[in-house]
Structures are given as structure tokens and as C-alpha cells.
Structure 1
Amino acid sequence: MSRSKFFLVVLICSFVWAFVPGYLFQSLTSISWVCWVFSKSVTAQQLGSGMKGLGLGAFTLDWTAVSSFLFSPLISPLFATVNVFVGYVLFIYVVMPTAYWGMNLYNAKTFPIFSSHLFASNGSPYKIADIVNQQFRLDTEAYDKLGRINLSIFFAISYGFNFATIAATITHVGFFYGKEIYHRFRASQQEEPDVHTKLMRKYEDIPAWWFYSVTALSMIVSLILCTVLKDQVQLPWWGFLFACAMAFTFTLPVSIISATTNQTPGLNVITEYVMGLIMPGYPIANVCFKVYGYISMSQAISFLADFKLGHYMKIPPKSMFIVQFVGTVVAGTVNLIVGWWLLGSVENICQDQLLPPNSPWTCPNDRVFFDASVIWGLVGPNRIFGSNGNYIALNWFFLFGAAGPVIVYILHRIFPTHKWILLINIPVLTGATALMPPATTVNFNSWLLYGIIFNFFVFRYRKKWWQRYNYILSAGLDAGAAFMGVLLYFTLTMENRTINWWGTGGEHCPLASCPTAKGVDLGPDSVCPVF
């Protein structure tokens, strides 16, 4: 079968099937069978829920749930998938049970085991509106009166693993790629071009002033925003330049990790942490610093990946640049318009506690983004991860993360014949769960399951099939699910046409978010028992 025909067949099959978990049988998005068996056990549902628990045995038959956060598992190399698997199992099934049930770390049982929300010390949701003044800054008196912010144990420890990841990225690249980077930089002007570069010479190269002009224009507009709209943006001009410097510094090491493993460590936490230390109490400034520092680096890596693909596919460089530039302008404009429209037309958008069950407007990514702005910007890291907070011990993860690649490098030097040691990638291992939350355990369970099956069994025993069809299969599954998602929205969701039966009632784990500490009462409307 030709690749184009195979792609069309997969797209049609994916398109047709996506209607089932997307509308008819939505419970297939998270098949948490442990909850069904133990319908009255809080502990069992905490263990078995794929959306609000540790996902023991949970899986999905919805491709969008597999690829929505981690992208397609079919395109990740096997060694990287194994590193993600080890890091995931270590975090979910070793660290989490020990911290929650074994140690009750940070009063973990007072709060849900898995949640991105913020809580008061009694387990109730934290009233963020009460600690914000009219200038959208922290009201310190109100905060001292209301008490410290508390995180679910999952959310707290995930921040610790994020600390370890960013430190491990620096030492990993330094020890394993430092010499190569130095020698390649020195030899870059004298190296003989490879066959791809020779073939690309028939196209006119991109003038350097195109890049310089776009960079200068972007920076000038951003600086104007930081000065003219100072009260609204909150970020000073020097903060913007500092964010750009961070993005520039980390683009190379993070790109190396991304190019070799297909996993991209993020700067989101470290940018939030740094700006939170410098300017506590300014949530919008923290968000802007995160966007300029982290999102700029992320987009730069995406930009480089596109150019690399265009280089191998022999696409004219100028055409690549123009398409990317126009696409960025169109996407940014459309996103802004759609976001403005949704905020004004959807009641209680992104406030999952006020929305009806199975609402599509829970916005898990945006929820985490907002809570992060409160943690790092409004309240500040010193009041949460510093001497005035509950989670100061999590800063040790920076040291553990930095030491990990050093230990692997030493073992490699001691045992040079053991090639498998070089496959241990600490940034990928510790950063395996960096997207949790908003990603949940069912997303990871299914991503790892399908990734290992295709990258091991199919590659090992059907290598020619894998080489010919693997990436086509991935693209077809993505495209079919995406087209059905758009169709469902415009034909059924916008018209509020729904069906109600057991299969559209979610994953049926209502007790998974219950606290298990003695005496915690969440009110008469809660389904949670009081222990």
C-alpha cells in the first residue's frame, strides 16, 4: 500500500472512531475500572482514577487523550520512552504513595491527592480573591489573616521534580555534550558541507537582516508595552531583557535534549521562580516574564525543528521563513480574537468547580497557568518555597537534579563498555511528569503503553513496516481525531446537543478527590465522607 493511501485509510478510521469517545461514549476517555469495582472506597478510587488519582490500571481508547499533552508516542525513540517510563513509575508508584499514605507529607491527607487547585489549611479551596487588592497585587494583611497557601501533594512534588529537571539539563549537556559543542563551534566555518547542505545550495539563502529585523521589531514593541502600559503589564524593561537573556542562554542545551530524545524540558518553573524572587507580589509581571523567557525558548526550538525538517525535505529557506512568519501572525491574531470571544460568551469558563459535569470549558492548561501566577507571582516563592512557606525542603531537588547526570557520567567513565549507561537521560527521567498537572495519569499510562508497543515490538519485528508507515500512522491518527473534534464542536457542542447515559458520565470516580484526614468536612454538598 502506498503511503498516501495508508494515510487516507488511517485518517478515515481515526475520524470515524473519534466520534465514539468524543460524543457517544465519553467514559472511554478514561477507563478507570478500579473505581467501578470499588465504588464506595476512597482509597481504591484515589489509586484507580485516571483523571484525579494515580491511575492504577487506567487507560484510554481516545487518541486525543493519548497525544494531547505528550504528542504522539509513535515518534518518540524507545530509549527516551523507557526513561519517561522509569521516571513516571518512580514518581507515581514510589514517591507518591510514600509521601501520601506513608508519611502524610505536608498534611497531604487533608487535600485531594491529585489537584492543581490551591487550598487553605482546613482543606477548603483558597479564596484568592480575598488577597488581591485593586492594583491586582498581594494584600499582605489579608494573606497573613487567611493563612498560607497549601498544594496537593502531587502538585507540590511535581514542582520538586521540575526543579531537578532544569538543574539536570545544565549538567547533562555540560558533561555529555560540552566538548562536542565547543569543537563544533570552532569547526563550523571550516567543515565540509554534508549532502543535504550541498543540495540546498541551489536555493537562495535567507538574508540575515530578516532575522535581525524581526528580532528588533519584536523587542521594540515589547519594550514599548513594558513602559507605556507599565501599570497593566507590571514587567519593567530590564525584566524583559533578562527574560530574553534566559531564553537565549537555555535554547542550546534544551534543544540538544529535544533533538536527541524528542522530550523538551521546560523553563516555565525556573522563570517563575526567578521573577518571583525578584518581584514578589506582581502576578502579571511574573506571567509576562514566563512568556518572554520560557515560551520564547519553546517557540525558538519549534522554529529550529521546522527548519531542520525543511532542510531534509529540500524546501526553499525563504519559503519556510515566510510561511512561519505569516503563520505566527495569523495564529496570534486568531488566538487573541477567539480567547476574547470565549471569555465573554462562556459563563464560568475555566472555573471547573462551577461548571456542569463533562463541560468542555474546564481549561486544564489555563487553570495550572493561573494557579502558577498566584504561587510564583502574587504570593511569591519566598512565602511558599522559602523560609516563610511550607515547602522549603523541595529546593533540595535542585541539588539532586544537578548531581544525577554527574553520577551517570562517572559510571560511564568507570564502565565504558556498558553502552546502556549512556541511555540513562536524567533530564528526561526527572522531567517525565513535568506536564502533570494538567496532564493526568491516564494520559501517561496510554502514551507509554502505545509508545512501548510500537517502538519495541513493531520496530523490532516489523522494522521495514515501521520505517515505511510509522510516522504516517501517527499523522493519520492526529488528523482524523482533530477533524472530528472540529466537526463535533460546530455541529453539536455549539448547539448544546448532548446525550445523557452512564457512558457520558465521566470516569465514575467521584471519591478520588476526597481528603482522608480525620475531621475534614467539605460541606453538605460534598460526596466525600468525613473520617
Structure 2
Amino acid sequence: MATQAVERTPGTTDEKSYCIKRDIETSTREAETDENVVLQNEREIATHVISVDDDPSLNPWTLRALFIGLGLSAFGGSLAQIYYFKPQTVFVSVMFLAIISYVIGFAMETFIPRHGLLRYLNPGPFNKKENAFIIIMASAAANSALATEVLAVQRLYYNITPNAGSSIFLLFSSQLLGYGIGGLMRGILLYPSKMLYPGVLPLLSMFDALYRDGSEARRKLKVFYIVFTAIFLWEIFPEWVFPLLTGLSIFCLAAPHNATVSRVFGGSNGDEGLGLLSLCFDWQYISSNAGNPMTIPLKAQLSSFIGYVLCIVVFATVFHNNIWESRNFPFLAQLLFYENGTVYNQTLILNSNYEVDPTLVAEQGLPFYAGTWIIALLTTNLALAATFTHLLLWNKDDLRAAWTWMNMDTLRSWRANFDWKFWEHSGKREVPANTEDLDPHYREMLKYPDAPNSWYLLTFVLSFIVGLVVIYKTNSTLPWWGFVIAVLLASVSILFFGALYAITGLGLSIQTLVQMIAGYLHNGRPMANMFFVLYSYNTVSQALLLLRDLKIAQYAKLPPRAAFTAQIIGTLLGAVLNYVLMNSIIDSQREILLSVQGTNIWSGQQPQSYNSQAIAWGGLAHELFSTGQRYQWVPLSYLIGLVAPLPFWIIHRYWPKLHMDYYYTPIICSYIGGLSVGINSSVVSYYMVAFLSQWWLRTRYPRWFVKYNYLVSAALDGGTQVMVFVLSFAVQGAAGAAHLFPEWWGANQGGNYDHCLSL
């Protein structure tokens, strides 16, 4: 449209108005241009998808936040431990806690009067930082601590009941040890933009929609509520009324009595098959496959897809060629078996001291694993080893900062400035003169007093000392030097696997690696193996949880000291509740927990599995996994994994146009064994959603991607998890007898839901 020129006299009001108008138009055009830019890196995603703005006047230190936080911590910690002993495990998710805390906080703001003593429970509008404080406290509590698994195995299989004091301190030390190490690594694993933590983006996108004012925020909130309500109502069908939607397979419907079809194309039930070309319409399983598919970066998605394709080929080859006598055992299984395919009775090879007796092993024979589970163990080791090499080749500059303190000048400075009165630390941080290179979210956090390194160091030291004492007070059979090795191994692993998780959103479990190491260090002592895993694998898991929650705090601009306080309170409260409920359930349901099948209400499947792994690795590592033995390639694969990233790096160095830097070797290796357990019918749907979101929407419609991708993913997760929680108690037996939907074609209650042959 033509515009009429306006003559302006310098210095007049007309000129000033024109300049203001020009600035507004210029900024508007820039904003529109920004909205249409395809987001390419972590910094662009973190600054475009999540608001960088901060309101320092918002106060998280309210009695209301503490009240809701303690209540949800008690709820989440209790529920997590109850579900540990259930045949159907439901995890209390951060998204679920966020939605519930928002509802409770908004209700308190609305209905509690703001006068008298009640004003402390309703000091004003429920704000974003209160909500973040509550979520971090509750999520720290809403996990079943691995130490309760160790204590449960001791009680169930070894008739050892450590005293309450030792048990509680075991829980405290094992849960907080990783917090101390992870906190000391915040400079490299938390503050930089590259450490994106994709899994928390939907939560923060939802926060922006809930708490920001303006018409744009109201439109986003409307979209959130519509999607949330739609998926909430939809989940009734695949979860209860029409479970065939969990895995719709044309091949299963065409050949319902063919065992090969079931193994390859089936996947709607646990350990059924590979789910090839099955379509899943249940967001619970799509989102739980490897995290929300709308949040994982495309590079990581592509690498996992390559691994998924290779997994189908490798699993089919191993079973078809009867490698490791695979045809004698179920196609997908995690238990130990006799050679004839029956379940191995591990108690028959233990002596009175609950150590493996070679004479009894000779009588029973060595156990077997399903071939696919051996591939899972093998590829896990490949991935773990490849992680070290991959990050050293491609991310050495990112990791170098983690070790910059290891020089004499830094150590002398620490000693000169050390003050044992850590509680008097002001928390003030030096702001660099040039802050352009800092992550914008971290830059906003510099105004708040920090939770200094001395706090995390003290957490680590106390946890280390307490852990060293309790391994002797709880009859762990783990010597002090084994404990030290476990902690050192965890410290190195946190750096590498923490970086991989922060960058890609995909985490790798080091459990098999540390079980293997412990098996050779403490051969014949399965209980020592369990405690070694506790203080290594669990330490890494806790460190990653701490860093993830601190990233939530950084994105939400929650002051560091509030985040530290919330995490410590939530962790300690959750550990105590875990212990109390674990003892109560074992006292009342001991026989059921020891049975192979359990009931539809209680099951000991998880402590059984943990104990079986401890027997195999802790008691029979040399007999099963050493060179020349049946499963020798499981530990040898670690050496292969160390060199696996080298071809990609060499090709990229000489032929960069091939873009070998686009692939994550550890993720490819990990996903080669990724279909070894669980419901696999969701994989095709997962990648369809992933590429639709992270490629098509991000590159074709970047404006929509920025505004709605993470918001919609949050609504899908939130609505699904609330309905799954409701159905778990209402009809799926979490609080008593299950009430399955009446049998019909879409609800094949007597077999696999996709109508494939039950093997």
C-alpha cells in the first residue's frame, strides 16, 4: 500500500514521533523475522522457546510454597515406593507434579482469605517461582531410592535386617552423594547454553503460558487447555476401553497364530515382540519410549532411529541363527534360565553366607540369558565406552572447563580464601565484564546469591563419610576400597554421561558397566555387587536429577539457594518415607513378593530382577563373562566401543561435506539393544511424531514451532499422566482389585491386545 511522504523539520515533535514510529516498526519487523528463523542450536532454542525475562520481585520463600511442597513431597515419595512393589509401575512425573501444584496454589490464592494468620498461606497471587520451588522439592522426593531396593533384597533373600538408623543413613548418603558431585560440576554441566536439557523445555513452556500476561499468553494458555483436555479424555480409550490402540498391527490381525509374526510385528504387551510397523495411539507409551519425541533434538532422533533399525536386524539374526542357544528361551526376557528354558533358581547356588558356592553351581549348571538380553548388555557397554571417546573427540572444549581448576594457582587460591564458616558465605558472584558469551538465562541468575561450591562440597564430604560407615554397619560385604572406587567411577561418569544427557536429552544407564566392574573386583559376593552399584550407578542418577532440576531453576529464574533448599528437603523427606513404606509392605506381603508371579496388586519383580543381576555379575562374572566363556563379548564390547566413534570423526575431518558430525555414536550403539524389554509397538509412532515436530514443523513453520511445539508437548504429557494416574486407581488395580473393560475385539483381555500369538 502506498504511503504519503511526510516532511519533517529536524528537532521538532514530528521528527521525534517519526523516530519512535520507525523504531517500533523496525523492532516489529525484527521480531517477525526472528519468529520465522529456523532454530539451529541450543542457545537459539533456549532463548526463543523460553522467556528470558525475570521479575526479581517474585518471592519463592513463602509458607504456601513450603506447605504445598512438603505435601506433594510426602505424596510423591510415598506413591513412588508403593508403585515399586506393584505389577504395574507408574512413575510420578515432573509434569504431573507441576500441574497439581499449580491447581493447589491457584486454589489457595482464590479461596483463602488474605487477613489475619491466614495471610501467610495466601500472601498474594501464586507465582511462577513458588511453583518452581514446589516442583523441585516434590520431584526430589518422588523417586523410589535405590537404597530401598538393596534393603528389600537383603530382607527378602538374605534374611538381613539392618537397624533403622543404619538404613536411614544409607538412604541419606546414597541419595545425596550424587548431589554433591553434580553440584560441583555446575560450571560445565549446567550454566552453558549448550547444556540444554531438552526434557524440561515443555515444562518451562507451560510455565510461560500459565504466568505471562497479555493476549499472546492467553492464546497459548487456551491452546494448552484444549490439548490437555482432548488428550485427557482420549487416553480413556487406549488405556481402558480400546487397548488395541496401544499397538495396531495389520500383520498381527492377518496372522494371529504365527509365532514369527508375533516376535517381529507384535509389541502391544510387555516383552511380546519388536513392534515393527505397528501403530500406537497411546501417548503414554509414545512419550515414554525415549522421552517426549517433540523435545529431543533432531540429531539425537536420527541417531536413535539408525540404532532402532539395526536393532531389528541384529535381534532377528541372533534368534534365527540360534546364537547363545537363543531359541531355547523366550525371544524377549530378562531372567536367568536353565538350558531347557525353565527359570533358573538362584537360591540353590548360594551357601549359608549367601555367597556363590562353586560346588552348588556345578550341580545346577551355569544359567543362560535370552539372546536379545545379551545383545542389550553388549550394546550398552558399546554405548558407554563410545560416550567417552565421542565427547573427547567432538566436545573436548566443552569438557575442558571441568578440569581447569586442577592447577596449582587455583588450589593455592582456594586454600588462601578458604573459610570454614561456610554458612556465612555471601553467595556474591563476580560478573564478567563481557557477558555476551554467557547463557542469557544464567546471566539473569547472577543477580541472586549463589549456593556456593562449599555447600555442595560439604554435602559430598558428609555423604562420603556416612556411606563409608554404613557399608560396614549394614553387612554389605563391600570393603572400603571398593566403596572409594565406586565413588571415583561415578565422578568420572557424571561428567561424560551428564554432558550427553544435557545436550541430547537421552541418558545412558551405567548399571551394567559398574556391575561388570564390581563382579571382577568382588567375585563371588553378590551383595557387595549391589552396594557397589548403589554408590556408583545411583550416584550418577542422582547427580543428573539434581542438574536437571537446577536447569529448571535457571530457566524459571528461581534463586540458587531456594533450589538447593528445596532439593535437600525433598530428598531427605522422600528417603524417610521410602524406608517406612518399604518395611511396611515387606512385613505384610513377604510371601507374595517372593513368589514368581505375585498378584494383580503386589509384585516383587523389581527386587527379584535386581537380585538376579547381582547373582549373575557378582557371583558368576568369571564363569559367564570372562575371555573364553559363553558371554565373553559382553565385556569385550567395551573395548570395541572405545574405537567406534573414530571412523565418524576421521571421515568428517577429511570429508566434512558428509556431515559425520551429525551422528551420536553412543546413541546409535545404545539403541541397537533398545527393544529388549517393554512395549515396543510405540516406536514407529514415536519417530513419526519426532520427525514431524523436529524436522517438518521446525524447518517449514518455525514460527509455529517456537510458539506451540513445546507447549503442546507439555499439554500432551500433562493430560496423559493425570488420566493414567486416575485410571490406575479407578480401574487398573493400584488401590485394590482391577476392573478391566469387558472382553471385546478391541480389548483382548485373554491375550495380546494386538491379537498376535501369545508365546
Query: TM class, shorter-chain normalised?
Result: 0.7 to 0.9
The answer to whether the 8 Å contact 2:332/2:677 transfers is no
| CA distance in 2 between partners of 1:11 and 1:346 (Å) | 38
Pick one of 290, 295, 316 that aligns with 1:97.
316
The answer to whether the 8 Å contact 1:172/1:405 transfers is yes
Pick one of 181, 206, 223 that aligns with 2:399.
181
| CA distance in 1 between partners of 2:262 and 2:541 (Å) | 36
Which stretch shows the higher mean deviation, 71-80 or 52-61? 52-61
1:265 aligned residue: 508
Pick one of 287, 304, 311 that aligns with 1:84.
304
The answer to whether the 8 Å contact 2:516/2:617 transfers is yes
SS at match of 1:204: coil
Instruction: Give the gaps of 5 or more residues in structure 2.
Output: 1-217, 411-429
The answer to whether the 8 Å contact 1:382/1:388 transfers is no
Query: Does 1:488 pair with 2:727?
Result: yes
**Structure 1 residue 318 displacement after superposition:** 0.6
| CA distance in 1 between partners of 2:265 and 2:631 (Å) | 27
Which stretch shows the higher mean deviation, 181-190 or 421-430? 181-190
Query: Does 1:456 pair with 2:695?
Result: yes
| CA distance in 1 between partners of 2:480 and 2:604 (Å) | 31
Q: Give the partner amino acid of 2:689.
A: Y
- Kindly name which structure, 1 or 2, has the bigger radius of gyration based on alpha carbons: 2
RMSD of aligned alpha carbons: 2.8
| CA distance in 2 between partners of 1:350 and 1:55 (Å) | 31
2:449 aligned residue: 204
TM norm structure 2? 0.62
SS at match of 1:439: coil
**Structure 1 residue 465 displacement after superposition:** 1.6
| CA distance in 1 between partners of 2:286 and 2:607 (Å) | 19
Distance 1:208-1:400 versus aligned 2 partners, 3 A rule = closer
Q: Give the partner amino acid of 1:402.
A: L
The answer to whether the 8 Å contact 1:25/1:504 transfers is no
**Structure 1 residue 488 displacement after superposition:** 2.4
Pick one of 258, 261, 279 that aligns with 2:522.
279
2:20 aligned residue: none
| CA distance in 2 between partners of 1:281 and 1:168 (Å) | 29
Query: Does 1:74 pair with 2:294?
Result: yes
The answer to whether the 8 Å contact 1:166/1:427 transfers is yes
The aligned runs of 1:364-403 (5 Å cut-off) are 368-377=609-618, 379-387=619-627, 389-403=629-643
TM norm structure 1? 0.87
**Structure 1 residue 149 displacement after superposition:** 1.0
**Structure 1 residue 276 displacement after superposition:** 0.5
SS at match of 2:483: helix
Pick one of 223, 248, 254 that aligns with 1:6.
223
Which stretch shows the higher mean deviation, 266-275 or 443-452? 443-452
Pick one of 352, 357, 363 that aligns with 1:139.
357
Distance 1:183-1:487 versus aligned 2 partners, 3 A rule = closer
Query: Does 1:406 pair with 2:646?
Result: yes
Percent of paired sites with the same residue: 25
Distance 1:23-1:510 versus aligned 2 partners, 3 A rule = closer
| CA distance in 2 between partners of 1:347 and 1:59 (Å) | 40
Which stretch shows the higher mean deviation, 166-175 or 256-265? 256-265
| CA distance in 2 between partners of 1:119 and 1:333 (Å) | 36
**Structure 1 residue 4 displacement after superposition:** 2.6
Query: Does 1:246 pair with 2:497?
Result: no
Pick one of 23, 31, 35 that aligns with 2:240.
23
| CA distance in 1 between partners of 2:221 and 2:274 (Å) | 40
The superposition leaves residues 93-116 of structure 1 with CA deviations (integer Å, 9 ceiling, x where unpaired) of x11122211x21111111111111
The answer to whether the 8 Å contact 2:378/2:633 transfers is no
Higher RCO (Cα < 8 Å, 6 or more apart):
1
The answer to whether the 8 Å contact 2:289/2:686 transfers is no
| CA distance in 2 between partners of 1:57 and 1:162 (Å) | 25
**Structure 1 residue 347 displacement after superposition:** 7.7
The aligned runs of 1:260-339 (5 Å cut-off) are 260-339=503-582
Which stretch shows the higher mean deviation, 24-33 or 238-247? 24-33
Pick one of 59, 63, 72 that aligns with 2:279.
59
Task: Give aligned pairs, total.
Answer: 506
The answer to whether the 8 Å contact 1:28/1:61 transfers is yes
Distance 1:24-1:284 versus aligned 2 partners, 3 A rule = farther
The superposition leaves residues 129-163 of structure 1 with CA deviations (integer Å, 9 ceiling, x where unpaired) of 22223332213222111111111111011111011
| CA distance in 1 between partners of 2:723 and 2:453 (Å) | 42
| CA distance in 1 between partners of 2:477 and 2:673 (Å) | 28
Which stretch shows the higher mean deviation, 394-403 or 47-56? 394-403
| CA distance in 2 between partners of 1:473 and 1:136 (Å) | 52
Distance 1:512-1:285 versus aligned 2 partners, 3 A rule = farther
2:387 aligned residue: 169
**Structure 1 residue 42 displacement after superposition:** 1.5
| CA distance in 1 between partners of 2:258 and 2:626 (Å) | 37
**Structure 1 residue 384 displacement after superposition:** 1.3
**Structure 1 residue 178 displacement after superposition:** 2.3
SS at match of 1:151: coil
SS at match of 2:671: coil
Distance 1:124-1:425 versus aligned 2 partners, 3 A rule = same
1:526 aligned residue: none
| CA distance in 1 between partners of 2:219 and 2:567 (Å) | 30
Instruction: Give the gaps of 5 or more residues in structure 1.
Output: 515-531
Which stretch shows the higher mean deviation, 343-352 or 457-466? 343-352
